[in-house]
Structures are given as C-alpha cells and as structure tokens.
Chains A and B, each alone.
Chain A
C-alpha cells in the first residue's frame, strides 16, 4: 500500500518536473544553451570542484580520487610560512593602493571632462586618454621599462633637472609607485566612460536653477554632480571590491623584476611560480581558495551594506 502510494507520488513529481521543463515547447531553447552550459561546466565548475585538492596531498599520478586527504593541513602550513605572509601583505598593500588611490581617479577625470564645453576639444582629449586601455600589459610593461630605464624619458628628465639616474624598475622602493602610475595611465581614462554616461543623464535644469541661485561651478560639481553620481560610484566600488585581492597577473608579472620580488610578489604571481611552474599544486590551490573566499565574502558583505545604505544600491 505504502509502496504504491510512493510510486504515485514519484510519478506526480516526475510529471510536474516534466511540465516545468516543458521540453516539447522549449527544446530549441535548451539546445541553444547547450554549448554555453558545456563551457561553464568545463571551464568554471569542474575547476571549482577541483579545488578539493587543497584538502589533499595531491599527486598527479594518483589523481583527485586516489590522493590522500589531509584536511586543513595546507591552510595551517600556509599561515606559518614567512613567504605566504610576505605575499599576503604585498597583495593587501597593492589592493589598498588600488582602492584608495586608483579607484577615485576616473571619477575626478570625468567630472573635469564634463566641465569642458568645447566639444571638439573634449572629444580629442577623450580619444587620446582612452588609447592606453586597449594595449596589453606586455606592451604597457615594455613602455614602462623603456620610460623608466637608464636612457628613458624619466631619467633624461631627472638628469636635466640635475638629479641622478635611478633604475626605478630594479628598485623595490619604486615598485608600488610604478604599479599605481601604470594602472592610472592605462585604465583611468577608459574608466570615465561609465561616469560620463551617468553624468549625461543628469537633468540640465538642475544646473540651470543652481546657477540662477548663484552657485559657482565648483559648488554645482559638489552639490549636484557628485550626489547624483553616488549610485554609479557605489556600483563600481562593489565591482572593484570583489576583486580586491585580484590585482591582475598580467600587470604585476610584466612589471616585476627579481629585484622587486620582495614588494611586488603577489598571490597571482606566487601561485604561477610555485604552483604551475614548480608543481606544488595542493598548497597553491589552498592559496587560490583563500583568495576566492575572501573575494566572495567581500562582495557579499559590501553588497549587503550597499543595500542597507540605499534602496537600489547593491548589485542585486
């Protein structure tokens, strides 16, 4: 009796799933999604599941299913390594510099661009400040090495002012400034695009009535443009904070020299060198997992804060 009941129930569930999938009507849509689904499974979800090797002593010969489980051993080991501490603090410092010094630049630039009323000049400036965004970090690295090299513009300029030649790329004290300068040079021009789009959506009547009341340009910027840009700033900040610890392998790798490892070696370059080149897979997966979890926590926390802060503030 109960067996029969269960099978009827199972049939009902099966039918409702079938109704819900509605293969008869929607089969072409499922077929369309297939290549994309295969992509996400193979390139995103299988590697995600493969992260379990962080809890194993993974050996290539034994594979995921044959390797011994060691629990949190690698995570405990990591936090006692001096090298990990160094890489962690380097990543943290560069992440902070990125958020504090680099993030606000596109906002400032776009508010300045908005003040230029000569459209042709504005267009010309935009055309030139967008260019660096489209160059790869290999190229930008090459340009930076040229400019800061012994016969480069930077040293020629210093010499002209009577200062000594400094090999900035080989000096650890110069690495962070060069990281910041190169990021600003490459990406901040392009970063204005989203802000400019948001600014163009602001009702011009607001500016008119403000200037009628005698507000100066600076006051209009501060009391109209800036507050109305807040939702955009918040959204971009959230996107930025999620990649707080992802500084970009390409950039750092192409600016690094053996002399600047002490300050420039970050999670991404460390994982590449120790994991992929030297084959210490488990411990570097633990590093990567640590990085992903921190990124995840940061996005979730700041998203919640943003939703509390303003109604439509969060990303979702």
Chain B
C-alpha cells in the first residue's frame, strides 16, 4: 500500500525530531571532550563549543598523572568487580529456592522481600545501623549494602521459574541434591540472565554516590564518583594547580578531562550494557 503524503510528512518530522534528540543526548559528551583538549587561552575566552580550540593534551597529562584519581579509580574498579561477583552469588542462591513452587516457605520469604520494596526504611536509622556495624570508613560499605536488591531477585526468580521441572526431576533421580542442580544445571543455562543482573549490579556499584558520601570521609578510600565530585564541586584543588604561570590548562579543561576520565570506562563496556540491559528491562516487566 502506498503511503499518503500526510503520512510521509509525519514520518519525516518524527525522524528529524529523533535525530535532534539523539544529537542532544551526545552534545554534552562532545562538549566536555572538546573542552578537555583545548588550551587554557581558549577556555578562558569561553570560545570552546563542540570542537577543541588550541588543541593540547596538557589537561589529560595532568589528570592521568593524578595519583589520587587513579587510586579512586582502582577503589571503584575493585569494589565493582568484587561486589558484582558477591551479589551474583547471593542473588542466585536466594532466587532459586524462591522460584520453587513446591517449597512452602518461599511464598512467605518473597512477601518479606516485597514489603521492603513498598515500605522503605528511613535513611537515618539505616545510617545508624550501618555505623553500629562498623561500616564508617570501612571499604566494605562500598560492597555489602549493594549485594542484593529486591528487583534483581525478582528478575532472577522469574527466569528460574521458567526452567522445565522435568530436567530437575531427572537430575534428582540421578542423585543430584539441590546445590548440584543449581550449580550444574540451572546456572550454566542462565548465562544471559546472570550477565544482565550482573551488569545491573555493576553499574549501581560503579556509579554509587550516596553511600560513600554518607560513610566515607577518609580520602584514601574515596571511590571515583566521590573523587570527581570533590574535584569539580567547589573544591580548591584544581583552582590552585592552575595558578602556576606556565601551565596550558584551566580549571574548566581539567574538570572536563576528569569527568571524561570517569565516563570512558562506561563507554568501553557500553555495547554489552546496551545488549543485556534491554533484556533485563523486558524481563522486569514480567509480573509475578
């Protein structure tokens, strides 16, 4: 069937709007990249928009030579990797019993989990509880509170539920216990969901801000987000290093480079993020 003129016009307008939207989604990233590669003079004149002016790597040289920033990077990387591994273990271990229809306790435990989703504990008693546990200025606070979320548990449980019961029963007849069934049969065929949930946890861990803000004052334990916030949010560190006379960077170019430094790891894993996150979001829309 031939499209009418009105329909084609409508479609072109939509295409243009979406292309502009896609451009706007990228503009801030292009703009910081341009700023981070510009000279001090250009930055001070406010003439840098989407293309570097007075091209120089000096800001990057300074940022990549900043040991405190690298330290924060490693803190974030370690807590993300360790935290994701631990979270996947705990989540799959709990999701499996909850997925079993014949397990009488499952329903009640699930109810306890759902309650935490609709009634949230206030922040202050949460803070006091974790402080009593000794988690202030303790690197474990970057991991432990993120090891399980009700949402990820529900996604994994839904996925395990779809697993054919006959396979499990056959394994049971062959003498497999529940642990063996989970470890040898369920998990190996759940790689996609493990990747999805793992990435959910990884992004939360990498981007976490409120927990370190509340619990970590020791600058040696700062994760990357907190370090970046300290650099760009009213700190005096960047202003003071740009006071020196012969440098070719300004506060603006340095903070742009620092922001981009924190974005790059996300961009590098972005193809996987896009692929698996979409799957997870769709699974999340399955109720029950």
**Max chain A Cβ within 10 angstroms of own Cβ: one of B26, B100, B122, B233:** B122
- Quick check: is B214 within 8 A (CB to CB) of the other chain? yes
- Quick check: is A227 within 8 A (CB to CB) of the other chain? no
Residues of B within 8 A of A153 (CB): 27, 31, 49-50
Contact A281 B120 (CB under 8 A): no
Contact B121 A128 (CB under 8 A): no
- Quick check: is B240 within 8 A (CB to CB) of the other chain? no
Residue of A nearest to B18 (CB): A125
Contact A250 B210 (CB under 8 A): yes
Instruction: Give the contacts of B199-219 with A (CB-CB under 8 A).
Output: 203, 206-210, 213-214
Stretch among A30-38, A76-84, A88-96 lining the B interface: A30-38
The 8 A CB mask of B27-57 against A (1 = contact, 0 = none) is: 1110110010000000101111110000000
Contact A138 B263 (CB under 8 A): no
Contact A194 B281 (CB under 8 A): yes
**Max chain B Cβ within 10 angstroms of own Cβ: one of A42, A131, A254, A295:** A131
Interface majority SS (helix, strand, loop, mixed), chain A? helix
Stretch among A3-11, A21-29, A170-178 lining the B interface: A21-29
- Quick check: is B71 within 8 A (CB to CB) of the other chain? no
Residues of B within 8 A of A193 (CB): 277-278, 281-282
Interface majority SS (helix, strand, loop, mixed), chain B? helix
Give the number of residue pairs across the A-B interface with Cβ within 8 Å: 280
Residues of B within 8 A of A217 (CB): 7, 10-11
Contact A151 B48 (CB under 8 A): yes
Contact B124 A281 (CB under 8 A): yes
Contact B128 A281 (CB under 8 A): yes
Q: A164–B122 Cα gap in the complex (Å)?
A: 44
Contact A189 B25 (CB under 8 A): yes
Contact B177 A142 (CB under 8 A): no
Contact B285 A235 (CB under 8 A): yes
Residues of B within 8 A of A212 (CB): 1
Contact A146 B1 (CB under 8 A): no
Q: Range of interface residues on chain B? A: 35 or more
Contact B125 A22 (CB under 8 A): no
Stretch among B161-169, B187-195, B254-262 lining the A interface: B254-262
Residues of B within 8 A of A26 (CB): 97, 103, 105
Residues of B within 8 A of A53 (CB): 124-125, 128
- Quick check: is A261 within 8 A (CB to CB) of the other chain? no
Contact A33 B274 (CB under 8 A): no
Shortest Cβ gap from A155 to chain B (Å): 8
- Quick check: is A237 within 8 A (CB to CB) of the other chain? no
Contact B90 A36 (CB under 8 A): yes
Q: A35–B148 Cα gap in the complex (Å)?
A: 10
- Quick check: is A240 within 8 A (CB to CB) of the other chain? no
From the candidates B43, B116, B182, B273, name the one contacting A44 in the complex (CB within 8 A): B116
Residues of A within 8 A of B96 (CB): 29, 32
Residues of B within 8 A of A296 (CB): 118-119
Residue of B nearest to A287 (CB): B122
Q: Range of interface residues on chain A? A: 35 or more
Contact A139 B118 (CB under 8 A): no
- Quick check: is B246 within 8 A (CB to CB) of the other chain? no
Contact B124 A275 (CB under 8 A): yes
Residues of B within 8 A of A138 (CB): 207, 209, 225-226, 228-229, 262
Contact A185 B25 (CB under 8 A): yes
Known: A211-B1, A232-B285. A50 touches B7 (CB 8 A): no
- Quick check: is A260 within 8 A (CB to CB) of the other chain? no
- Quick check: is B85 within 8 A (CB to CB) of the other chain? no
Residues of B within 8 A of A112 (CB): 14, 17-18
- Quick check: is A183 within 8 A (CB to CB) of the other chain? no
- Quick check: is A264 within 8 A (CB to CB) of the other chain? no
**Max chain B Cβ within 10 angstroms of own Cβ: one of A36, A115, A139, A295:** A139
- Chain B interface residues toward A at CB < 8 A: 1, 4, 6-7, 10-11, 14-15, 17-19, 21-29, 31-32, 35, 43, 45-50, 89-91, 93-94, 96-98, 100, 103-105, 109, 112-114, 116, 118-130, 133, 144-145, 147-148, 153, 177-179, 182, 203, 206-210, 213-214, 225-226, 228-229, 232-233, 252, 255-256, 259, 262-263, 266-267, 270, 273-274, 277-278, 281-282, 284-285, 287
Given A54-B122, A292-B119, output 8 extra A-B contacts at Cβ < 8 Å: A33-B98, A42-B133, A45-B116, A50-B126, A113-B18, A132-B25, A136-B225, A288-B122
10 nearest A-B pairs in the assembled complex, by CB-CB distance: A288-B122, A151-B46, A50-B125, A36-B94, A136-B207, A47-B121, A29-B97, A28-B178, A47-B126, A143-B28
